[in-house]
Amino acid sequence: MSDWVSFYDFKHSVIYVNARHRDVHYARIAEDIRAHIPSPAARVLDYGSGEASYADRIAAKCGSLVLAEAAPNVRAALTQRFADNAKIKVMTPEQVAALAPGSFDFIVMHSVSQYLAVAELEGLLAMFRHLLKPDGLLAIGDVVPARFASLFAAMALLRFGAANGFFGAAILGLLRIVASDYLRLRKAIGLSHYTAPAMIGKLAAAGFTAQRAERNIGHNQARMTFLARVK
């Protein structure tokens, strides 16, 4: 397991400042992902789904939904939470890699690219190309540009907190993040940053025609979402 996957495997990751933050975070992401689903019958993959508390809302708008998550505790919680939803399957990355070509109409990977080494991202894009139907859609969300990324992330969190009733908790949460493993890991392993042309270039090299979406999925509009189709 990579260090970032272990970091996200904690039940109460410091990334969410409180339960309200976690709740509105996943509600917003589910809403934004729903908007990209190409048809009611679409077979959808959310790769690196995290806790995906509102995956049922995504599933309600498509034919079936696979949640792929590398962190075992997060995966176990997802399996339990959505056990009664026939449209949702929870898988390991290895299980997803073994699926048949053309298994999905829509693949989304949100807020994961920054945790991947460049070669890992390249490997995943090649896998997504293989797993997508020829007319399928790929969305890579929350891509982090290099300049002032932490400052923009902190400001976006404070604004998100102010708009959703957890401003005080957001301030405390930022202080907790500063004191947490997040910064230590960021220093030791680093985060991957991409400009828009760099990410479009990566997608082109993997066989996609891509463009930056008008809005990023989620609350931080300093980050970017890319929509890509098989060339």
Rounded to a whole number of angstroms, the minimum distance from the CB of residue 107 to ligand SAM is: 12
For ligand SAM, the closer CB: 70 or 88: 70
Taking the C-alpha atoms of residue 161 and residue 153, their distance in angstroms, rounded to an integer, is 12
- Which three-class secondary structure state does DSSP give residue 211? strand
Tokens, residue 230: 């098989």
Q: Does 29 bind ligand SAM (CB under 6 A)?
A: yes
Q: Does 90 bind ligand SAM (CB under 6 A)?
A: no
- Which three-class secondary structure state does DSSP give residue 224? strand
Residues between 48 and 87 with contacts to ligand SAM, criterion CB under 6 A = 48-50, 69-71
**Locus of tokens 């907790």:** 176
Tokens, residue 96: 């997803």
Rounded to a whole number of angstroms, the minimum distance from the CB of residue 128 to ligand SAM is: 13
For ligand SAM, the closer CB: 100 or 119: 119
Candidate list 23, 31, 120, 181; residue touching ligand SAM; CB under 6 A = 120
Rounded to a whole number of angstroms, the minimum distance from the CB of residue 134 to ligand SAM is: 25
Neighbours of 116 (CB within 10 A): 18
For ligand SAM, the closer CB: 58 or 203: 58
Contact 139, 36 (CB under 8 A): yes
For ligand SAM, the closer CB: 17 or 41: 17
- How far, in Å, are 39, 86, 122, 168, 219 from residue 111 at the CA level? 23, 26, 16, 24, 11
- Which three-class secondary structure state does DSSP give residue 116? coil
Rounded to a whole number of angstroms, the minimum distance from the CB of residue 89 to ligand SAM is: 16
Q: Does 115 bind ligand SAM (CB under 6 A)?
A: yes
> Who's near 199: CB < 8 A, 6+ residues apart?
113, 140, 143, 210, 224, 226
For ligand SAM, the closer CB: 112 or 203: 112
Angle formed at CA 115 by CA 164 and CA 14, multiple of 5 degrees? 40
Q: Residue with CB nearest ligand SAM?
A: 50
# of chain residues touching ligand SAM (CB under 6 A): 18
Residues within the interface to ligand SAM (CB under 6 A): 2, 4-5, 8, 29, 48-50, 69-71, 93, 110-112, 115-116, 120
